[in-house]
Structure 1
Amino acid sequence: MMCLFLGLASLFPQDREPQPSPEYALSGRVRDADGPVPLANVFISETASGTATDFDGRFRLEGLPQGEYTLVVSAVGYGTHRRKVEVGNGPGDPLEILLHPGTEQLDETVVTGTLKAVRRFESPVPVEVYSPAFIRKNPTANVFEALQAVNGVRPQINCNVCNTGDIHINGLEGPYTLVLIDGMPIVSGLGTVYGLSGIPNALIEQIEIVKGPASSLYGSEAVGGLINIITKNTLSAPEFFTDGFATGWGEYNLDAGGKFRLGEKARVLTGINYFNYDVPVDHNGDNFTDVTLQDRISVFQKWNFLRDASRELTLAGRFFYEDRWGGEMQWTPEFRGTDSIYGESIYTRRWEFLGRYQLPVPEKLLLAVSYNDHRQDSYYGDLPYFADQRIGFGQLTWDKPAGRHDLLVGAAIRYNYYDDNTPATGSASGNAPDRVWIPSLFVQDEIRLMDRHTLLAGLRYDQDPRHGGIWTPRGAIKFQLAEHELLRVNFGTGFRVVNLFTEDHAALTGARDVVIEEDLLPERSWNLNLNYLRKIYTPEGHFLGLDASVFYTDFSNQILPDYDTDPNQIIYRNLDGRSVSRGISANVNFAFAGGLRLDAGTTLQDVRVFSDIANSRPVLTERYSATWSVSFPIRPLGLTVDYTGNLYGPMRLPLAGELDPRPEYSPAWSIQNIQFTYKGLNHIEIYAGIKNLLDWTPGRNAPFLIARAGDPFDKEVVYNASGDPVPSPGNPYGLTFDPAYVYGPNQGIRGFAGLRYRLD
């Protein structure tokens, strides 16, 4: 009977207290090549469990059920480390985790400031660095648009019809910004307008920005600052990658590529970018496309060769082709170059090549070369513009450490060829293409003082056959006030030999004639920059970074376009006086142990022209600007939220006449975006969001954007005896066709969605 009772009891078990599942701990040590990494953020991606390493780099996570997890380790200045870990199986020995320097924080390696690879905190020249992760917070189809998120840097659209533009740094026009790829000046002149499109974002390792003159190292054009786009090395690039997205406006962008080995010594990285937008849109009702239609392809390839003693040999090339047009909604290619339906049609073909070769000698001698060939076939209405530009560049540098001195000596030569069908290359005897050889010598000495401070001195000499010898000195002092605090003082000079295409292009996109009143002399500038950098780490694993600068740039012989004297002309002359760009800029970075990151920056600037005629501010120069981004990971969902935005203050705009009813100044305006990224799948990220959340467009603050959009060939304009337009019944403001009244993008609110795949 007792056995029967026990058997029945086993079939109907009594309620009992549930037994807790066993819990385990995971411990380890985080280090880099030099030792332990304190205050690193350590968490399990499948749960909310997380902690920070102590000052010996050790961590311990407790209360974990048995199973397999993904351990994620991140720290300011390092790349994120991910690995699969087993909990509850085996002896559970402490983990050893090695972190590698990252490219998004404050300790990354930079090369642009001094032509040498140094950690950013150690560089005597302030260099701002932005990684692909920064670009991905608000996906764009090209580098030009991506730079809108950088404090003090503004992509400026120069034409309402063709949407070409340039990059402004600290309020200075695009011609003062030098754009480099891997340190080589292959984007300049024509390429600055079009060449910033088509560089696959997935191939970018980092973007380095120097604000202020850098002519002592890079020569002409590096007057206001420079942007160096550094592409990935084939050793660190993914095996295969693709990133494609589409927007609600019908824009499609695709980046794809990968790497492969060619024998034992060569590794090849290939990337392709394709962008297409072919949906004419006219939301503001002026019968003109709000955004230029584009069909663009770019193919990039980079070769890295393994050599003895780790000497460098790199070759790279890019082919770029674009067909873009904007104009009246009924325009088709059959109207190209005619005066019946207005359109601006631009065919661009561009080749680029660069190479770096370290000579097989005991001393560190590096030969760098670049070449680009840019051809353009375009019509602005019935005005043809055909141009051919070739730029060759060669440079040999000798890097020689000697005690407390770190010497850099170099020789360079640059060849410029430019030809077009405009007055830019005209002469009394006919067409005269511009052919110039400019040899240069430069020297730089970086001196370590008392093991904490650094003094840098440099001097460059350029021999321009048109203007003679040009000297450009520079100096910098870095005071390291504490372990994570420093002050930099930089003094530099710059020069710019006028690039006629750059000055002439504003006229081609409108209806103004170019008038060059005199032989234009090189512009000269000097700059003073004070930079303060502070990093703060808390015991809780939080981080605060402050980067603030005060800048002052003084120009002489500046070449300014005069839009005001005659509304039908753009007059170029050397300024009889001086102009000044001055201001203060600050960036603040917060990184919390839980993963929340806040980045914000603001620039207050005063750009003025002082002459015998008047003191004024140049057109398209804002008084203040701000940028921000907020990134927050929701780890249990595998989701990251990015909120980004910018704000620009009022700027003076180019009016087309005294009776022009459009506002002389723009309002303050802001573009804001939000993105959601899902990272819960192996090798795949899915993202979606909304651009321009406020649905802001410039047309809402003016009666019209394009002057005389209904009569783009000025067939109904009445002129007086002096050739000036006068009011008439069909033209009450006495204007001519002019699309130059533009200061911001014409696209309103729109959604986007995309997918990234990466195989390492």
Structure 2
Amino acid sequence: MKVIYALCAFLFILVKFSVADDPEKKPKTDAMLFGDVKSEGEHIPFATITIRGTTIGAAADATGHFKMTNLPVGEQTVIISAVGYKTLEKRIKLEAKKSVTILAELTPDVIGLDQVVVSADRNEKSRRESPTIVNSINPKLFERTSNVTLSEGLNFAPGLRMENNCQNCGFSQVRMNGLEGPYSQILINSRPVFSGLAGVYGLELIPANMIERVEVIRGGGSAMYGSNAIAGTINLITKDPVVNNFSVSGNYSLTGAGTDGEVAGDANLNLNGSFISDDYKSGMSLFGFTRKRNPYDANGDGFSEVALIENLTLGTRIFHRISDRGKLTVDYFKINEYRRGGNKFDLPLHESDISESVTHDINTGAVNFDLLMRETDKFSAFFSAQSVNRGSYYGANQDLSAYGETEDFTFSSGLQYNRKIDYLIFAPAALASGLEYNGSFLEDKKLGYYDPEEDTHYGNTLVADQKVVTQAGFLQLEWTLLKWVITAGIRYDHYTVSDVTKESDDITGDVLSPRVSLLYNIADNLQFRTGFAKGFRAPQIFDEDLHIETSGSRKVLHENATDLKQESSNSYTASFDYTNMFGNWQVQFLAEGFFTRLNDPFSNEYGTPDDDGVVVYTRVNAEDGATVKGFNLELNASPSEKLQIQSGFTIQRSEFDEPQEFDETRFFRSPESYGYLSLNYNPVHEFSLAFTGNYSGRMLVPYFGPLAANPEIGQLNTSDSFFDAGIKLTYEIHLSDIMSLEIIGGAKNIFNSYQKDFDTGVDRDPAYIYGPMSPRTIYFGVNIGNFL
């Protein structure tokens, strides 16, 4: 904690230092900038205007005009950006008590060829200039798919696939390049505070309306982001306040419409707003989300396949420009959720035949201070934290001992410095460096109960009391030379894992994670990228350990072997990225190959049920290694602003060197082909039509239910392939120049491409679930928005 206090003190000193440069304490320059933002003769409302090397910014109004006052004098670079357009830079000269007027003509960029990303090196950069491929999922895609939470939207990036792993409670995870969830690092505003406990249900906990965009980096990223970034990183970037606006939307869905199952309602309400001061020095965004989803029973056996959910989320982001070069940002959001799966929902948890239920109270906060030095250099100090309190019940057959309570606190703190260097060794270079101190403290209890038949009180049992602390430092250099961009970086992590419930000593490790990438501009429209990265996973508790699969005949617990050691990886990628304009057509095509070698990979040993039906899955290091290899293909095209097409397809294979369970080398639940398609058509401004589709190929799925030849040994089944298609219609009514009303209707999984062989009854195997997350669903909604 001393490190945290020291960081806070240092942050306070920086703020005081920055305030000393407060423009309000300086004579006002009265230098003014006026502007008019257009594209193809049409004004662009609410474009963002910033001055490079400062925190000064503004936004155009509904007519595309803007005004900025009291600006720093001298040569300045003005940056004008808007969603769907290429960013424009203009060099101007500002003089005291004089005004300058600029006319900004933006070029349409419908498919995001030159979008700005931050995840490659934790600093803003055009995607085309990054030596690492960064895919961005923007709010428009969430709108086209009518996704109310983060989870479903992750299906629309190359190499990513969401899956449901529990028939009772809906425990879900995202797979990247064939590797399961814990191999991907989930970040919130570039900080690793998304804990293992939050990760059990976290991707379905986070509402889509709080997200500005999701950035995805495939391949090893540990040199920048630390443990668990073997498959890649998924960076959730929350909404920034830009202009004064608000919107309210409501949506109601019917899960299972037109199927054999009983239809279940799903209602949600979203609220968004942002407020900016007249001088653009301060701003605040607000978001709220509430949801009530009823349970859905697909096969009529009285047990749910889709869990009940009640969610309430509130959050805010606040910024204050302390000076021309200093900016303080504060984030906070709170999630309260109750979910329950099983049967007899009208009875207490311990009186149902099966119940898997959790209550979440999640608080997440962050403070970030940025200080700009010179025109391009930046220093940052940050502290992010997340606390999760979870009450749980994983039980069957009226089990009073199945109640649990888990508390988790995760934090990430550090300093980062980015600098542009005119010449270093052989070319101009950019430096990214930082120090981090991260930690996670988790306590899991099994709650006691009173047995009236035996007149016995059972006390609480401490299941896990784990502490994970990591000190880290990283350094990365990026050289730009003619057509080449070369990046070389290294990260050092020292981790300590301790658990007072285990007899073994603390587990410690020192890991060096190098990272090298290269970008070569073969031609103006063709780029080649290649890279290598080393990653690791420490032997700690992961999200699946905190989820218990329950049936009337067995209860599955996950444990680490006492001699478990860290898993490491070597990841290689190579890609060709082609972008071009053919008349009005914009086209982008990416072909990427990936190869990851896992050393000492984690594997499960399946135990046999004891007299109480409890079976333990023990995580061990496989004797030999494993490989994951394949191709990602991405095609985006747009002939005009009226039509956009996005698509991606993955072909991969994940397997151990030697046979594991069921004498099989291939990874379970990992299809060898999957992909997505998204098409949006606006024949007129008021009307839009969106079509989406997700394909998932066959996969191997273990089954331990009563229909297996030997339920204790289980059997390995091959699933069907699936194509989940959706359609959405939107009609916009202009109520005034600054307010509009949208009427929305559509359907998901139109053809009900859904699992047909769910296990049934109290003894079912709840982990035997695969395919799309939900059956055919129809929905309708309204959205009203106003720009103040």
The TM-score with structure 1 as length reference comes to: 0.79
> Which one has a bigger Cα radius of gyration?
1
1:578/1:565 CA distance change after superposition, 3 Å = farther
**Is 1:533 equivalent to 2:582 in the alignment?**
no
SS at match of 2:679: strand
Q: How far is 1:164 from its partner?
A: 1.6
Structure 2 letter corresponding to 1:634: P
**Aligned residue number for residue 456 of structure 1:** 487
**Aligned residue number for residue 725 of structure 2:** 672
Q: Which whole-Å CA distance do the structure 2 matches of 1:573 and 1:112 have between them?
A: 32
Structure 2 letter corresponding to 1:268: M
**Is 1:505 equivalent to 2:546 in the alignment?**
yes
**Aligned residue number for residue 355 of structure 2:** 343
**Aligned residue number for residue 647 of structure 1:** 695
Q: How far is 1:447 from its partner?
A: 0.7
1:586/1:227 CA distance change after superposition, 3 Å = same
Kept in 1: contact 2:353–2:762 (CA 8 A): no
Structure 1 letter corresponding to 2:683: I
Q: Which whole-Å CA distance do the structure 2 matches of 1:101 and 1:353 have between them?
A: 36
**Aligned residue number for residue 420 of structure 2:** 401
SS at match of 1:654: strand
Counterparts of 1:110-509 in structure 2 under 5 Å?
110-236=117-243, 238-249=244-255, 250-261=265-276, 265-278=281-294, 280-328=295-343, 330-334=344-348, 336-338=349-351, 341-359=353-371, 364-381=378-395, 382=399, 383-403=402-422, 404-421=428-445, 433-450=465-482, 452-465=483-496, 466-509=507-550
Kept in 1: contact 2:110–2:644 (CA 8 A): no
Q: Which whole-Å CA distance do the structure 2 matches of 1:305 and 1:344 have between them?
A: 44
Kept in 1: contact 2:538–2:565 (CA 8 A): yes
Q: How far is 1:413 from its partner?
A: 0.5
1:216-267 Cα deviation digits (max 9, x unpaired): 111112111111111222125x511122211123111111021235796431
1:92-148 Cα deviation digits (max 9, x unpaired): xxx966338869512111110111110000001110012101111111120012212
Unaligned runs of 5+ in 1: 1-32, 46-68, 82-94, 424-428, 713-736
Structure 1 letter corresponding to 2:407: D
Decide which moves more: 510-519 or 739-748.
510-519
Q: Which whole-Å CA distance do the structure 2 matches of 1:432 and 1:195 have between them?
A: 20
**Aligned residue number for residue 633 of structure 1:** 682
Kept in 1: contact 2:37–2:105 (CA 8 A): no
Q: Which whole-Å CA distance do the structure 2 matches of 1:564 and 1:42 have between them?
A: 69
SS at match of 1:78: coil
SS at match of 2:200: helix
Q: Which whole-Å CA distance do the structure 1 matches of 2:710 and 2:624 have between them?
A: 29
1:594/1:208 CA distance change after superposition, 3 Å = closer
Structure 1 letter corresponding to 2:580: I
Structure 1 letter corresponding to 2:143: R
1:703-746 Cα deviation digits (max 9, x unpaired): xx23xx4334xxxxxxxxxxxxxxxxxxxxxxxx4210011346
Q: How far is 1:454 from its partner?
A: 0.6
Percent identity between matched residues is: 25
1:275/1:75 CA distance change after superposition, 3 Å = closer
CA RMSD, Structure 1 to Structure 2 (Å): 3.1
Q: Which whole-Å CA distance do the structure 1 matches of 2:111 and 2:36 have between them?
A: 21
Kept in 1: contact 2:419–2:432 (CA 8 A): yes
Q: Which whole-Å CA distance do the structure 2 matches of 1:360 and 1:643 have between them?
A: 43
Decide which moves more: 500-509 or 681-690.
500-509
Structure 2 letter corresponding to 1:399: N
SS at match of 1:189: coil
**Aligned residue number for residue 756 of structure 1:** 783
SS at match of 2:680: strand
Decide which moves more: 186-195 or 393-402.
186-195
Kept in 2: contact 1:104–1:129 (CA 8 A): no
Q: Which whole-Å CA distance do the structure 1 matches of 2:721 and 2:363 have between them?
A: 39
Equivalent of 1:517 in 545, 556, 561? 561
Structure 1 letter corresponding to 2:674: S
Kept in 2: contact 1:77–1:107 (CA 8 A): no
Kept in 1: contact 2:724–2:772 (CA 8 A): no
**Is 1:108 equivalent to 2:102 in the alignment?**
no
1:515/1:197 CA distance change after superposition, 3 Å = closer
Kept in 2: contact 1:358–1:367 (CA 8 A): yes
Kept in 1: contact 2:445–2:462 (CA 8 A): no
Structure 1 letter corresponding to 2:722: W
Structure 2 letter corresponding to 1:398: Y
Q: Which whole-Å CA distance do the structure 2 matches of 1:171 and 1:627 have between them?
A: 15
Structure 1 letter corresponding to 2:753: W
Q: Which whole-Å CA distance do the structure 1 matches of 2:510 and 2:275 have between them?
A: 47
Q: Which whole-Å CA distance do the structure 1 matches of 2:180 and 2:173 have between them?
A: 8
Structure 2 letter corresponding to 1:693: I
